[in-house]
């Protein structure tokens, strides 16, 4: 089949009947529900995009020759990474980076997994690794949309990351066809717009937790799967009033596994704790970070462009404001430079598999949870009350209001009231709406907090050069004169 169109994606979703809850109701039809219909169109547009931008987005499947999305590529060369970059940048531009879990995120993740049968097949897990490689072929050829859940729910943080055997997802039985799993996980972003759910490792499991060592993929409407969505941030479709909330609410869902049967050929890890605790530790991060950081860089650039337009609309060229715009631009460029460095220093991790170098991306990942709240703060400071003095499309069109709005709510120079309202409504949707608040939460916590990321990168960062720069002073031979002077001073102190 190969790369799907938006219509084919929507037809696939329409055939599914997942157990999805939002607000006070169980959702009968995801595509028709106001909480989901706007974002469903956007995800469909991402599927259409790969055909519209085929040069950047489509590559032949290495075995069948079918056109597949470049995010499914197992990178075999630097050129593959460059092609993948172009493809993912197109997707990020379509959502201005507001959909963190657009399907390319999981495509890249599974391409990275399939590239490492040496890791997935370790410790006797050859069958799991073979299942995973077969699944990645199916994923790319059927062009499925995946959601994923890798984190245990939080019950009592004083007991660590593992919430206990009754809550964390675990295997309860073997059947003729596979295994039965029970428990819960967080937080499946994109769930209502996914064909299948992926479960794979995150934090290492403690001793004795072998039953929790699971990785698999199953269709969203597998019996026993339940998705509890957070309150919707989606607004009714009105692209003037809510340019972002009406199309980019990708949703986040708590997942319950109420005795769910996973077919044997979909089990990638079924109790092998040694593999579970190891597979995420090497190349997964640098591989997937290429996608997430291209997305983040695009969002930063959007924010800088938006803030610039805001200042132009109200003629604010003050030094204080210009300084903040320069600060935004610096984040854009630091992000671009980190991605460029990681790609320039890409290397062959194992024979025939190329991934970026991880360090620049790890540093950027740890910094972004601080940068993004600051981006919101800057746009809020630049926007001030103007963020709330932005009439709706209906108000602008109302004959009773229009003459007043045109006069009193116009912008600087020849900026009309309509143009000004569009800019500040876009800005409010970016920093002040429910979608905006969720966006900041996402940037703070997706793939762990900044705090946790900083702690990890300090532990794994190569330290040879840094310590050598310091040790030069600590280990240098201070010579006879200096040593004698030290001894003299020590003796004088002893006599006092």
Ligand X SMILES: Cc1cc2nc3c(=O)[nH]c(=O)nc-3n(C[C@H](O)[C@H](O)[C@H](O)COP(=O)(O)OP(=O)(O)OC[C@H]3O[C@@H](n4cnc5c(N)ncnc54)[C@H](O)[C@@H]3O)c2cc1C
Q: How far is CA 471 from CA 28, 468, 474, 478, in A?
A: 66, 5, 5, 13
Report the interface residues with ligand X, using CB under 6 A: 101, 148-151, 186-189, 252, 438, 441-442, 445-449, 451-452, 455
> CB of 69: closest distance to ligand X in angstroms?
19
Q: How far is CA 103 from CA 91, 233, 356, in A?
A: 9, 20, 20
Q: How far apart are CA 234 and CA 247, in angstroms?
A: 7
> CB of 186: closest distance to ligand X in angstroms?
5
> CB of 450: closest distance to ligand X in angstroms?
7
Angle at alpha carbon of residue 102, lines to 441 and 305, rounded to 5°: 65
H/E run at residue 182 = strand 178-189
Half-sphere exposure of 484 (CA within 13 A, CB side): 3
In the complex with ligand X, the residue whose CB is nearer, 169 or 417, is: 169
In the complex with ligand X, the residue whose CB is nearer, 252 or 343, is: 252
Number of H helices, E strands in the chain: 18, 14
Alpha carbon distance, N-terminus to C-terminus of the chain = 89
In the complex with ligand X, the residue whose CB is nearer, 134 or 155, is: 155
> CB of 442: closest distance to ligand X in angstroms?
4
Q: How far apart are CA 114 and CA 346, in angstroms?
A: 18
> CB of 85: closest distance to ligand X in angstroms?
22
For residue 357, which of 371, 372, 373, 338 has the smallest C-alpha distance?
Answer: 338
In the complex with ligand X, the residue whose CB is nearer, 372 or 428, is: 372
In degrees to the nearest 10, what's the CA dihedral of 322, 323, 329, 333?
A: 150
> CB of 100: closest distance to ligand X in angstroms?
7
In the complex with ligand X, the residue whose CB is nearer, 202 or 389, is: 202
Q: How far apart are CA 196 and CA 221, in angstroms?
A: 8
Cα 394 to its chain centre, rounded Å, is 35
In the complex with ligand X, the residue whose CB is nearer, 159 or 493, is: 159
In the complex with ligand X, the residue whose CB is nearer, 47 or 200, is: 200
In the complex with ligand X, the residue whose CB is nearer, 279 or 324, is: 279
In the complex with ligand X, the residue whose CB is nearer, 240 or 454, is: 454
Beta bridge partners of 226: 256
In the complex with ligand X, the residue whose CB is nearer, 17 or 458, is: 458
> CB of 26: closest distance to ligand X in angstroms?
22
In the complex with ligand X, the residue whose CB is nearer, 143 or 250, is: 250
> CB of 40: closest distance to ligand X in angstroms?
17
- The DSSP-derived string for 336-379 is HHHHHHHHHT-EEEETTEEE--HHHHHHHHHHHHHHHHHHHHHH
> CB of 161: closest distance to ligand X in angstroms?
6
Q: Is 488 exposed, middle or buried (0-12, 13-18, 19+ CB in 10 A)?
A: exposed
> CB of 419: closest distance to ligand X in angstroms?
32
Count CB-CB contacts under 10 A for residue 48.
16
The answer to whether residues 378 and 225 touch, using CB atoms and an 8 Å cutoff, is no
Reading phi first (left if > 0) and then psi (alpha if -120 to 50, else beta), residue 7 is in: alpha
> CB of 449: closest distance to ligand X in angstroms?
3
Q: Would you call 473 helix, strand, or coil by DSSP? A: helix
Largest CA-CA distance found in the chain, in angstroms, rounded: 95
Burial call 313-322: b when 16+ CB within 10 Å, e when fewer? bbebeeeebe
In the complex with ligand X, the residue whose CB is nearer, 46 or 188, is: 188
Q: How far apart are CA 355 and CA 481, in angstroms?
A: 53
> CB of 205: closest distance to ligand X in angstroms?
15
């Amino acid at each position: 089949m190969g790369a799907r169109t938006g219509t084919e994606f929507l037809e696939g979703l329409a055939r599914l009947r997942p157990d999805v809850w939002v607000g006070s109701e169980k959702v009968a039809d995801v595509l028709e529900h106001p909480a989901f219909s706007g974002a469903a169109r956007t995800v469909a547009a991402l599927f259409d995009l790969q055909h519209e931008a085929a040069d950047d987005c489509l590559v032949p499947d290495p075995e069948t020759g079918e056109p597949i999305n470049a995010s499914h590529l197992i990178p075999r060369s630097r050129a593959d990474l460059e092609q993948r970059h172009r493809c993912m940048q197109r997707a990020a531009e379509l959502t201005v980076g507001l959909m963190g879990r657009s399907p390319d995120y999981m495509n890249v993740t599974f391409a990275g997994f399939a590239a490492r049968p040496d890791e997935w097949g370790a410790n006797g897990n050859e069958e799991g690794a073979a299942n995973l490689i077969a699944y990645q072929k199916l994923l790319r050829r059927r062009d499925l949309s995946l959601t994923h859940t890798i984190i245990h729910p939080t019950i009592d943080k004083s007991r660590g990351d593992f919430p206990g055997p009754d809550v964390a997802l675990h295997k309860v039985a073997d059947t003729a066809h596979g295994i039965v799993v029970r428990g819960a996980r967080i937080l499946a972003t994109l769930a209502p717009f996914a064909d299948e759910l992926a479960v794979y490792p995150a934090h290492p499991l403690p001793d004795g937790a072998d039953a929790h060592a699971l990785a698999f993929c199953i269709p969203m409407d597998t019996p026993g799967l339940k998705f509890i969505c957070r309150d919707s941030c989606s607004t009714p479709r009105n692209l003037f009033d809510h340019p972002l909330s009406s199309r980019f609410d990708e949703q986040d869902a708590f997942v319950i596994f109420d005795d769910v049967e996973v077919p044997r050929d979909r089990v990638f890890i079924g109790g092998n704790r040694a593999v579970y605790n190891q597979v995420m530790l090497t190349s997964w991060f640098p591989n997937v970070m290429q996608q997430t950081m291209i997305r983040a860089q695009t969002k930063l650039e959007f924010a800088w462009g938006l803030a610039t337009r805001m200042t132009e609309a109200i003629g604010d060229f003050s030094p204080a404001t210009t300084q903040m715009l320069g600060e935004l631009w610096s984040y854009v460029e630091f992000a671009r430079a980190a991605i460029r460095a990681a790609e320039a220093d890409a290397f062959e991790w194992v024979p025939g598999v190329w991934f970026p170098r991880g360090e620049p991306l790890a540093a950027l990942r740890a910094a972004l949870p601080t940068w993004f709240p600051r981006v919101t703060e800057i746009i809020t400071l630049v926007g001030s009350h103007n963020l709330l003095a932005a009439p709706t499309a209906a108000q602008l069109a109302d004959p009773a209001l229009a003459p007043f709005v045109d006069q009193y709510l116009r912008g600087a120079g020849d900026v009309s009231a309509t143009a000004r309202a569009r800019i500040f409504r876009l800005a409010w949707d970016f920093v002040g709406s429910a979608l905006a608040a969720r966006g900041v939460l996402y940037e703070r916590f997706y793939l762990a907090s900044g705090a946790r990321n900083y702690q990890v990168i300090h532990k794994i960062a190569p330290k040879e050069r840094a310590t050598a720069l310091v040790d030069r002073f600590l280990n240098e031979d201070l010579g006879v004169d200096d040593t004698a002077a030290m001894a003299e001073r020590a003796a004088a102190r002893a006599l006092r």
